[in-house]
Amino acid sequence: MGIEGNAKATTLEADNHVNILIEASKKLRDLVKQMETAGANIKGYIIYTEESEDDKKKKAEDDEKLKQLIK
């Protein structure tokens, strides 16, 4: 976009910073929309899912087995 990362945004029409920031926010919004509609398996991104009770129990059992192996 032609602006340094540490440049101060101004409202001067010649600098056009506000319009550049608006365009950048629109592009970011569009990117988020694309990610949301791309599906659950987006490579390179971590998608949070809540653990079920069975998963929690299995993890606790695995942790206990690991502790026993370490002893």
pLDDT single digits (tens) 38-60: 766 666 666 677 888 888 899 99
Determine the Cα–Cα distance for residues 36 and 46; give it in Å rounded to an integer. 13
Q: Whole-model pTM above 0.75?
A: no
pLDDT tens per residue, range 16-39: 777 888 899 999 999 888 877 876
Per-residue pLDDT for 12 more than 80? no
> What are the residue ranges spanned by the domains of the chain?
17-70
Rg (CA), the chain: 24
Helix ranges, the chain (H): 17-37, 53-70
